[in-house]
Chain A
């Protein structure tokens, strides 16, 4: 049972345009969410996070939106740059569980075309 789903395995976007990556979750106990970016042959790098008490968090070109009622979050990258081409993983955790382990989606490969 996949608790965190990224339904789009890949996404292509023109440089300068907006990239929108989506993520759905099923476990209502999740109360914080993170996005990681991964280049080939490297470990995932933390990008941005959001707590369930918020519906939006912004950091430069990256904004994460959370819709708790729909159990959906999205990552917006504006403007998209060729260096953003990577695999993006959505992750969720339950701070009440005490272990802070994260459940990851399978990732979305973003290609930004110059």
Chain B
């Protein structure tokens, strides 16, 4: 158990809809990262927050957004969903000064 909690574990939704994925980082961790893993793809970095502020942005679509709240939990919002958004979305966290990031178990999103 990495200590990173993600909900929901599985989600099926229709094209055009909007979903929110939630992440609670490890206790004491200030940085939260979101990664996407599609079929046959590696882990693609989407976005990072550090203590409530956006720190780095990767290959995140404009239809996607994220935020980190004062209690340090984070949400990833995916809107106008397309079939190609079906993927495993991972949240990870670290204290900010370390190099190792710890992953949650992921949220499986299926868009039908």
Cβ contact of A95, chosen from B2, B41, B99, B104, cutoff 8 A: B99
What distance in Å separates the Cβ of B91 from its nearest Cβ neighbour in chain A?
Answer: 9
A97 / chain B contacts, CB cutoff of 8 Å: 56
Near B by CB (< 8 A), chain A positions 30-52 give: 32, 34, 36, 41-46, 49
Whether, in the assembled complex, B58 has its beta carbon less than 8 Å from a beta carbon of chain A, the answer is yes
A43-B90, A89-B43 are known contacts. Are A100 and B31 too (CB-CB below 8 A)?
Answer: yes
Q: Do the beta carbons of A101 and B42 come within 8 Å of each other?
A: no
What distance in Å separates the Cβ of B1 from its nearest Cβ neighbour in chain A?
Answer: 10
A43-B2, A43-B105, A44-B90 are known contacts. Are A100 and B99 too (CB-CB below 8 A)?
Answer: yes
Q: Do the beta carbons of B103 and A102 come within 8 Å of each other?
A: no
Cβ contact of A101, chosen from B4, B40, B58, B105, cutoff 8 A: B58
Which B residues are closer than 8 A to A by beta carbons? 2, 4, 31, 33, 35, 40-45, 48, 50, 55-56, 58, 90, 92, 94, 96, 98-106
Which A residues are closer than 8 A to B by beta carbons? 4, 6, 32, 34, 36, 41-46, 49, 89, 91, 93, 95, 97-107
Interchain residue pairs A-B with the least CB separation, the first 7: A43-B103, A99-B56, A106-B42, A104-B43, A104-B42, A43-B105, A44-B103
Of the A-B pairs whose beta carbons lie under 8 Å apart in the complex, a sample of 22, sorted by A's number, is A32-B99, A42-B105, A43-B4, A43-B92, A43-B105, A46-B100, A46-B102, A49-B99, A89-B42, A93-B99, A99-B55, A100-B31, A100-B96, A100-B98, A100-B101, A101-B33, A101-B58, A103-B45, A104-B42, A104-B44, A106-B40, A106-B42
